[in-house]
Amino acid sequence: MKLNGRQLAGIGVAVGAVYGLFVRFMFGLGDAGSTFVVMSSSFILGAPFALGFLSVWFGESPTKHPFMVRLFLSWTASLAFMLGCLLLFWEGIICVIIWLPLTLVLSSLGGAVAGLIRYLIRKSAARNSCVVLVAGLPFLLAPLEKFKATASEIRTVQTQIEINGPAAAVWQQIKSVPAIQENEQSLDFSHVIGFPRPVEAVLSGSGLGAVRYARFEGNVLFVETITEWRENERLSFHIQADTAHIPPTTFDEHVTVGGRYFDVLQGTYWIEPLATNRVILHLASNQRLSTHFNFYAHWWTEALMADLQNYILKIIKHRVEHPSPTAGVATAILIKSPRA
C-alpha cells in the first residue's frame, strides 16, 4: 500500500521522537563518570541532529523535498521528544526550555542534511549506511568525548539600578533581608521556568566573618560568609549552597546550584553615590560552569543570573523609595562577587 504525504510525515515524526526518547533513556542510565551521560556534547548536540535527520528521512515524500516540510518534520519530532521527556519525568521544565532552542536548530540542520543526502546519493546501500551512521552518531562520539576533560569556567554577571535614596538607606536593605512579602514578589522569566523566588536573608553577626542565611522558596538555603564589609559602600560574600538539604524536586538535577555542572561562588553589592540622596546600586556575581558545551550553556546561565539579580535590585529600590514598617530587605540571593 502506498502511503500519502501526511501518513509519511506522521511516520517521520514518530521515528524521530521515539529515537530521541531511546537515546535519552540509554544516556540516562549512566552516572556522572560514565561514558554515556546526558550532560555530554555527544547527547546534547548529537541526539537532536540525528533526530531531525531521521524524521525527515522517513517522513519526506520520495519525490518532493520542500524546505518547510523538513522544518515541520524536524521541529514537530523535537517537540514530541521534549514532551515525552517531561511526561516521563526524565527532564524538568528548566532543562527543556534551556535545551529547546538548540534542539530546534540542530534538528533542522539534521533534516537539511537528510534532504541533501537524498539528493546527492542514489545508491540504496550508501544511503542505508548514512542512516545507520547518523543514528549511531551520539553513541560513536561519546567514547571519544571521554578523552576531553570537562572545561570549567568562572563567569561574571553584573547588574545595576539607580535608586532615589541615601546610601545609608540602601545599605540597610542589602546587609540583611527581612521576609519578602507576597505583594513585593513578581513573576519574572527565571521564576516562570522553575527557579525559586527569594524569601529572606538572616544575618548572624556583623562585619567580616559574619554569616547570612539566605532562604529561597522550595527550602533552598545558601550560607553566605561576609568577606568584605565597608558600611554604606560595599558588601561581599562567599556563598555555599546547602546541597545536602535542597529537596530534589526544587531543581532539575542537571542545573542544581552547587552541583557538578553549575555553582554560584561569590557576590558583591557596591553603592555608587551620584548626588545627594541618589545612588547607583551595583550587584555582581561569579558562577562556575562545568560542561562540555559551555559555549551554549553560558548564554543561559548569564541571562538567568542577570534576571535574578535585577529581580532583587528592583525589590531593594522599591523598599528604599517607598519605606514602610513591614518592608524589609531584598538582598541575599544566589549571587557572588567579582574581584574588584
**Domains of the chain, earliest start first:** 5-145 (no CATH), 151-321 (3.30.530.20)
pLDDT < 50: residue spans in the chain: 327-340
Is pTM beyond 0.75? Reply is: yes
Q: What is the pLDDT of residue 65?
A: 61
Contact 288, 265 (CB under 8 A): yes
pLDDT digit string, tens, across residues 200-239: 888 999 999 999 998 888 888 899 999 999 999 999 999 9
Query: What are the two backbone dihedrals, phi and then psi, of residue 47, each rounded to the nearest 5 degrees?
Result: -65, -50
Q: Coil, helix or strand for 332?
A: coil
For 230-285, the DSSP string reads ETTTEEEEEEEE-TTTS-TTTS-GGG-TTSSSEEEEEEEEEEEEEETTEEEEEEEE
The dihedral of CA 189, 295, 258, 46: what is its sign? positive
Question: What is the dihedral angle through the alpha carbons of 233, 287, 224, 274, rounded to the nearest 10 degrees?
Answer: 10
Q: What pLDDT does residue 338 have?
A: 42
Identify the pLDDT of residue 333: 41
Q: Backbone phi, then psi, for 59, in 5-degree steps?
A: -110, -10
CA distance 259 to 250: 13
The DSSP code for 33 is T
Nearest to 48, CA basis, from 110, 123, 139:
110
Distance CA 190, CA 201 (A): 20
* Distance between CA atoms of residues 167 and 320, nearest Å: 10
Extract the C-alpha cell encoding 166: 541615601
**Which of left, alpha, beta for 218 (phi over 0: left; psi -120 to 50: alpha)?**
left
Distance CA 140, CA 148 (A): 15
What is residue 1's predicted lDDT score, i.e. its pLDDT?
Answer: 60
Q: What pLDDT is recorded for position 325?
A: 59
pLDDT at 247: 62
